[in-house]
Amino acid sequence: MSKQKNPNIKIVADNRKARFAYEIMDTLETGLVLTGTEVKALREGRSNIQESYASVEGGELWLINSYVPEYFAGNRFNHEPRRRRKLLVSKKQLSKLAQAIEREGMTMVPLKLYFNERGMAKLELAVARGKKLHDKRETSKQRDWQREKARLLKERA
């Protein structure tokens, strides 16, 4: 996904802690299998992917522990808020992900849940390695230094 902000994309949930806690190796855009009430609840923008992760089980990719609240007007046809959701990827991508997870000790972390230009729900999934405490400190130092440097340059100009 490009760094430019696209006005046609509506971000529903963002996992900002993932970039701090994990070293991102690769990102991938996946589709989601959702029910009607889940889509309506997502369009309201009340969702959470902070504690969720993706897993390969039975030859399929699943999003586990993501939270999509019940749609208030859904009455008895509502969905389970923390149900497992199937992610849509090609077989080639799935085998590549499964190999990276098994061989290199990586994990799959969702970064962003959004609606694309066509109105389809998409999930930006990252193949990542968990950072150690000293790596997190280094990331924090780098971020503070960049902030300080920008402030100093702004004062000089």
What is the tens place of the pLDDT at every residue in 121-144? 899 988 888 777 777 788 888 888
Mean pLDDT of 87-103: 85
SS3 of residue 82 by DSSP: coil
Domain total of the chain: 1
What's the chain's Rg over C-alpha atoms? 18
Flag whether 152 is in a domain. no
Tens digits of per-residue pLDDT, 26-63?
Answer: 888 999 888 888 888 888 877 888 888 888 888 888 98
| Domain ranges, residue 107 | 10-130
Residue with token string 């077989």: 91
Flag whether 71 is in a domain. yes
Flag whether 157 is in a domain. no
The CA-atom distances, in angstroms, between 80 and each of 44, 67, 74, 93 are: 17, 9, 12, 28
The runs of H, that is alpha helices, within 46-114 are 91-104
Flag whether 1 is in a domain. no
| pTM, to two decimals | 0.73
What pLDDT was estimated at residue 1? Answer: 43
CATH code of 61's domain: 2.40.280.10
Checking DSSP bridges between strand 10-14 and strand 121-130, what pairing results, if any?
Answer: unpaired
Q: Are 22 and 129 in contact (CB under 8 A)?
A: yes
Flag whether 151 is in a domain. no
Distance from first CA to last CA of the chain, Å, rounded?
A: 33
